[in-house]
Amino acid sequence: MNIVDRFINYTKINTTAVAGHGNLPSSQNQLKLAALLAAEMRQLGLKVEEHDNAITIGTLPANLKDPKRSVPTIAWVAHMDTSTEYSTDTKAHIVDYDGGDVVLNAAQNIIMKRSEFPELGNYIGDQLIVTDGTSLLGADNKSAIAAIMHAMQLLKQNPEIEHGEIKVVFVPDEEIGLLGAKALDVKSLNADFGYTLDCCEIGELVIENWNAGEFHITFHGQPAHPMSAKGKLRNSILYAQQFIAMLPGGERPEYTENKEGYYWVKSITGSMAETRIVVDIRDFTADGYEARRFFIEKLILSFNELYGEGTVSVHYDAVYRNAGESLQGENRYPVELAIEAMQSLGIEVKEKPMRGGYDGAVLSERGVPCPNLFCGAHNFHSIYEFLPVNSLNKASEMVFEIIKRAART
């Protein structure tokens, strides 16, 4: 099977994550995709573990001529879910791109305009995989799945190429909190290091991401009829409004870039009696992250001192840490290996901090250093998501090259 057909087959299975579902996986079709991948891995000679939560692990044994030679075990990780912005089925198709705008859906006049997406200019003469404008493409992260599986196919077709033990790991529900990675028994992989392919254009290499946390804050009020509300009514909506207004105004996602951290009010629901908000904090440095956490906690304490004990209650979750903390010193080896592999393929390496999280941050925190490599796609979480075919091929070649190089060192 060629890599493009493989990718498009995966996009036909709607694996949209369902936030707040409570089960792992959050959508049943992730189990369907997991079963398909398990069957394909067995056909390629991998030993497969299938779990009820859709976590699926394939192991390709080492084929070294000298079994006493020490070669690292590499884990290749990708997630099966797609983001929650759209839950509609994907109708992927290929266009030959000669420049200009791309008509995604003539009937609905949905057009990807080059003036809005100037990066299209980098792919004149290439083929682009796009949607019909009514859904996500799902290249985040099915392009990674296709690239990894195609590399496994190449290894099967070329048994003379030596490699160490390889772990292929597919997890659910990355898009709603890295839940699959958090449920993964990382130690059981016995991997020396790993890689995810979960960043964008060709050549991107992520070795830093956010330190991330989430506050669920509840404001407790006291309803009263307006005709007798004086001195009695305590409006929790206004408490929440006041709290949000006290967050630093310029430190929001829409005002920040690069390594600038922020406070992010993600939701607000409630009534006079009780109002809930969700506030995320993000920072690249551990000190900056702790300062933001302290600020929120101090603000909550101040509210309770001002309006009475119990006015505000809170639940805090640490979501993920900066993988960069785990990619220093000798743990930088997988980064250097990836750089060498890309350069050998003529790929310009673009190291960049990631203003987000990825499954490898969880693996890194748990002792398996895991940089994040490009999958080649653009415009994640958008109906204008597109995947250049050449970039998809290069992503798979990169996986293959890393595996070969790791066996030689």
pLDDT per position as a tens digit, 21-57: 889 999 999 999 999 999 999 999 999 999 999 999 9
Q: pTM of the prediction?
A: 0.92
What are the E-state strand segments in 235-334? 262-270, 274-283, 312-320
pLDDT tier at 68 (50, 70, 90 boundaries)? confident
Q: Is 276 exposed, middle or buried (0-12, 13-18, 19+ CB in 10 A)?
A: middle
Backbone torsions φ then ψ of 380, nearest 5 degrees: -50, 145
pLDDT of residue 223: 94
Catalytic residue selected from 165, 173, 174, 283: 174
Task: Tell me the mean pLDDT in the region 302-318.
Answer: 96
Read off φ and ψ for residue 387, nearest 5 degrees: -130, 110
Torsion of the alpha carbons at 7, 13, 16 and 18, rounded to the nearest 10: -150
**Letter string b/e over residues 281-291, b meaning 16 or more CB atoms within 10 A of that residue's CB:** bbbbeeebbee
Q: Is residue 160 over pLDDT 90? A: yes
**Residue 12, pLDDT score:** 98
The band of 324, judged by pLDDT with boundaries at 50, 70 and 90, is very high
Q: Is 11 helix (H, G, I), strand (E, B) or coil?
A: helix
pLDDT at 382: 96
Nearest one of 287, 289, 298, 291 to 243, comparing CA atoms:
298
Mean pLDDT of 134-161: 97
Whole-angstrom Cα distance, residue 174 to residue 321?
A: 15
pLDDT band per the 50, 70, 90 thresholds, residue 409: confident
pLDDT at residue 20, rounded to an integer: 85
Instruction: Single out the residue of 135, 83, 175, 148 nearest to residue 386, CA to CA.
Output: 135
| Structure confidence by residue, pLDDT tens digits, 221-266 | 999 988 998 989 999 999 999 999 999 999 999 999 999 999 999 9
Residue 15 has pLDDT above 80, yes or no: yes
Q: Which residue matches tokens 């198709």?
A: 93
Contacts of 353 (CB under 8 A, 6+ apart): 206, 208, 209, 258, 259, 284
Residues 349-378 pLDDT 10s = 999 999 999 999 999 999 999 999 999 999
Which CATH number is 211-320 given? Answer: 3.30.70.360
Mean pLDDT of the chain: 96
Taking the C-alpha atoms of residue 241 and residue 251, their distance in angstroms, rounded to an integer, is 17
247-256's contacts with Cβ under 8 Å and 24+ in sequence apart are 247/279, 247/299
Q: What is the pLDDT of residue 21?
A: 87
pLDDT confidence band for 202 (50 / 70 / 90): very high
The CA-atom distances, in angstroms, between 105 and each of 108, 132, 174, 384, 393 are: 6, 5, 29, 11, 26
Residue 368: φ, ψ to 5°? -115, 95
CATH class of segment(s) 3-209+322-408:
alpha beta
Q: Spell out the domain ranges in the chain.
A: 3-209+322-408, 211-320
Confidence of residue 150 (pLDDT cuts 50, 70, 90): very high
Q: Which are the contacts of 121, defined by CB distance < 8 A and separation ≥ 6?
A: 99, 114
Amino acid at 205: L
Cβ contacts of 238 within 8 Å, gap of 6 or more: none
Active site residue 174: yes
370 burial class (0-12, 13-18, 19+ CB within 10 angstroms)? buried
